[in-house]
Structure 1
Amino acid sequence: MRRLCLLIVGMGLTLSAHAGEDLLSLYERAVLSSPELLSSQYTVDVLRAQEDRSYAALLPQVSISGNYSYNYFHSKGTSIFNPEVSTTYPGVRASINLQQPIFDLQAYLLMKSQEAKTTQSEEDLLSAHQKLISDLIDRYIDALEAADKSEITAAELRSTEQQLARTQAMQARQMAMVTDLYELQARTETLRTQLIDNDNNARIALEKLRELTGDAVTSLQPVRLDIAQPPPDGSIDNWSQQAGQLNPELRALKMAVESARQTINAYRAGYLPRIELQLSETYSDTAYNNRQSPPFDIATAGVQATVPIYDGGGTGAKIDEATARKKIAESQLEQKLREFEKLTRAAYLDMQTSPSRSLATDRQLAASEKSRDAMKKGHELGVVTIVDLLGAEKQLSEAKLQQRQARYRYFKARSSLYFQTGKLIAPELTKFNEWLVLRDKKIANKK
């Protein structure tokens, strides 16, 4: 838990240096309003209290009791030598008792089991924090991609509308074919429909960010296209091994297995005797049935041993239940190990091939721009049909989108790789933020 607090504090120090709708500012808002993080923190608090309660069973139990009574005593006479007596008198009784377990293996092992549960909850809290960062990055990139589609579609629509206006003017002078005019009109309406859908998807993507931050997200910083994309260090097997060792969710499941193991041992210890030291001291001026007596003190020291003989099979049933829970925890751990190994290897391979993929999309975009320009000039000369030109425009839009998607794919792969291996923390989020284009504050203020 202390490690998580340091991470958040360290992130908070970084946040103060940034402004605007970038990853760090959104993270600050998300981490302060996340119900999942709050729930995980409260779970830690609950389990810590339960751990303290289990530890208390091994500590001395001291109690003090006092009693003041007002007594009426009446005795019927039986003879002249034993006459009838009636009297009233106060009574005082006070005692102090101490009980200290000397041998209680079951209570000790239950405490160790509870300690493992507390550690599990702390790892779950750290996992929830890293999952929040991962979700934020994924949703931020999804929002950027949706905005890119809208922007690229709008650019293609403007170009097509210019071609439509030019063709309409030429067709009015009977210098263009009516089929070209119809083709341009159809393509223009198609792009307008796509733009409506893309704008709506962009707004929906911002709403998904709003779910994390708790308030409106109005604008995003775009991704730089000139960033380096370093491949992952080390081998794929090393990263898979790190995922099994460092991922907080896997460590939490390991603690669940350990807690179940300690619980089994604790219930087995229920067959063993329990030995307890007992100390007490009593002061009283009344005796049996509150009969008045001279004041007296009694100090007692003793050792009590409790040996279980037969409990109707309750202890055996507890052991069977704890054994089944341990097997469930082991199965869940094995399932997650395989899942994280698959995701880690996929993210590693995706990240490793991203530089080549980005370079290929850069070349594809350059070639598409040249093709579009050539088609445009050919159409002006009358050697290229409008269908070919529209196809080149569409190909150029797809190349622009693929260029940016290649960068986004790298970011998502890196985020996934670091998340699976438990490394998606403050420094890594800062790196992601540095890959964003920071807008000029003066320009933003003018707007």
Structure 2
Amino acid sequence: MSRRMSKLSILAAALALLACQTAQAVGPFQIYEQALRNDPVFLGAIKERDAGLENRAIGRAGLLPKVGYSYNKGHNNSKVSYLDTVRGTITEKRNYDSYGSSLTLQQPLIDYEAYANYRKGVAQALFADENFRGKSQELLVRVLSYYTKALFAQDQIDIALAKKKAFEQQFQQNRHMFQQGEGTRTDILEAESRYELATAEEIEARDEQDAALRELAALTGEPNLDVRDLDPLQEDFQSFSLTPANYDTWHEMALSNNPVLASQRQRVEVARYEVERNRAGHLPKLSAYATMRQNESESGNTYNQRYDTNTIGIEVSVPLYAGGGVSASTRQASRSMEQAEYELDGKTRETLIELRRQFSACLSGVSKLRAYQKALTSAEALVVSTKQSILGGERVNLDALNAEQQLYTTRRDLAQARYDYLMAWTKLHYYAGTLREEDLARVDEAFGQRAQP
């Protein structure tokens, strides 16, 4: 029995190992698909959009007919006194039932307030739609931002571990030389200092990675997300083609398509029709109505009488004076509209500044990547030549430490430049208002291990 259990345990372990080996890492696009289903910010944005779209129907309701029905039925106990010329004052007690019903149809004909409220509702619905479009594109940026932060932190951890290993070897070598009387205590302290700095960098990178992974976990709803679950950036990644290549076209695209600017323009429209709605408080209203009434013994004067009345007509309402409230409300709404216009100007300038920054970052990023790649090759050759020069007595141990430090710094800067380029390319499309799932899918192709030919 124990032998059979042992075989089952071995089989279960083998299956678990096989499952781990066959588990595939996920790229940014898969993270984005999970975020669409689990990110509470995005899910809340969907409900916010749905609620905002109802403003169109709410505003339209003020222009459509209104139908109302009322019914009442009661029992009356009354005492009636009247004067008779023969019998004098006579008092009668009446106990009777009464009822009344009314069906009313009313249709606004001239109501500028209702019209302004409808146009305001349309603008509010468009604002909600553009605001949601902006948050949808923002989700793409957030996914890639946290994804690259986690990977860059892992690059920093790997570099820190490599630095610690190199400085530990240098420390042991310097201590051995010092014991042999060929080195100095300064060399030992220098290597030890570099080692401790690398340790601090590792700790900081792990904290940054933990924060980035937690952000991704909040987006996807996967609490146990590990950096090993993420596809790394391919080592041979260079850059993307920038289309269109001139800034003026991107400038026009941003003014036309940026969802933040579009929603801000709709906000100005909302404020403008709020001014009109308040101004309508000085204007008359005209409506048509039709009523069907049935009444029986509704009052003492109609005791034991039944009335069936059909009425059709028009109703005019003319406001004369409201204590100055209409004028004050109009002035208040006008100031709010002016505020919205200034905020639109500010948001436009801010967006175009960021657009230009990301466009320049894309152009310069290509040159930076090329320069860092060459610098990395030179730094690697410098480390080799420095170690050879030390053996020949032409260099000292401090030169080797500096060469190692320069190599790892270049590796870190190259990794950061690659992620910065990806973010700049993505944000350029975001500020232009053209960022789509297809763009993230293109970025996704830059991640993962390249298949061997």
- From 104, 107, 110, the equivalent of 1:100 is 107
Mapping for residues 154-173 of structure 1, pairs under 5 Å: 154-173=161-180
Residues 318-369 of structure 1: CA distance to partner in whole angstroms, max 9, x if unpaired?
Answer: 2111111111111010001101111101111110122211111111111111
Q: How does 1:365-384 map to 2 (within 5 A)?
A: 365-384=376-395
Once the two structures are TM-superposed, the CA of residue 132 in structure 1 deviates from its matched residue by: 2.2
Does residue 53 of the first structure (1) align with residue 61 of the second (2)?
no
What amino acid maps onto 1:279 in structure 2? A
Distance verdict in 2 for CA 1:84–1:262, change over 3 Å: closer
Cα RMSD for the two superposed structures: 2.6
Q: Counterparts of 2:199 and 2:289 in 1: how far apart (Å)? A: 87
Q: By how many angstroms is 1:290 displaced?
A: 6.1
Q: 1:68-111 CA distances to partner (integer Å, 9 max, x unpaired)?
A: 33344654573359976555443343221111111112101111
Q: Provide the rounded CA distance (Å) in 1 between the counterparts of 2:101 and 2:186.
A: 110
Deviation at 1:178, TM superposition (A): 5.2
The 5 A counterparts of 1:118-137 are: 118-137=125-144
Question: Hey, what's the Cα distance between the residues in 1 that align with 2:322 and 2:281?
Answer: 10
- Is 1:111 equivalent to 2:118 in the alignment? yes
Judge which range, 182-191 or 150-159, deviates more.
182-191
Q: For structure 1, which runs of at least 5 residues remain unmatched after alignment?
A: 1-17, 441-447
TM-score, normalised with respect to structure 1:
0.86
* Counterpart in the other structure of 1:445: none
C-alpha deviation, 1:50, in angstroms:
4.0
Show the counterpart of 1:140. Answer: 147
1:216 deviation in Å? 4.2
Select which of 297, 308, 312 maps to 1:301: 312
The 4+ residue runs of structure 1 with deviation greater than 6 A are none
Q: CA deviation at 1:303?
A: 0.6
Structure 1 residues 95 and 189 mapped into 2: Cα distance closer, same or farther (>3 Å)?
Answer: closer
| Pair 1:31 & 2:12 matched | no
Aligned with 1:226 (options 216, 225, 236):
236
Structure 2, unmatched stretches of 5+, are 1-22
TM-score by length of 2: 0.85
Determine if contact 1:239/1:421 at 8 Å carries over to the other structure.
yes
**How many angstroms apart in 1 are the aligned matches of 2:188 and 2:73?**
108
Report the secondary structure of 1:300's partner residue.
strand
Q: Which amino acid aligns with 2:48?
A: T
Work out the CA distance in 2 between the residues paired with 1:218 and 1:123.
Answer: 35
How many angstroms apart in 2 are the aligned matches of 1:409 and 1:162? 33
> Is the CA contact (8 Å cut-off) linking 2:59 and 2:120 kept in structure 1?
no
Q: Report if aligned partners of 2:234, 2:449 keep a CA contact under 8 Å in 1.
A: no
Q: 1:150, 1:202 within 8 Å by CA — same for their partners in 2?
A: no
Q: Is the 8 A contact 2:39 2:218 kept in 1?
A: no
> Greater CA deviation, 339-348 or 39-48?
39-48
1:49-82, CA deviations, whole angstroms, 9 ceiling, x for partnerless residues? Answer: 4443332222222122223333446545733599
Secondary structure in structure 2 of the residue aligned to 1:293: coil
**Once the 2 structures are TM-superposed, how far is the Cα of residue 139 of structure 1 from its aligned partner?**
2.4
**Of 343, 350, 371, which residue of structure 2 is paired with 1:339?**
350
1:180 to partner: Cα distance: 3.8
User: Structure 2 CA distance, aligned partners of 1:72 and 1:183?
Assistant: 108
Aligned residue pairs: how many?
A: 423
**100-109 vs 372-381, greater mean Cα deviation:** 372-381
Distance of 2:251 and 2:125 partners within structure 1: 26
Q: Distance in 2 between matches of 1:268 and 1:236?
A: 43
| Contact kept? 1:123, 1:248, Cα under 8 Å | yes
* Whole-Å separation in 2 of the counterparts to 1:312 and 1:126: 43
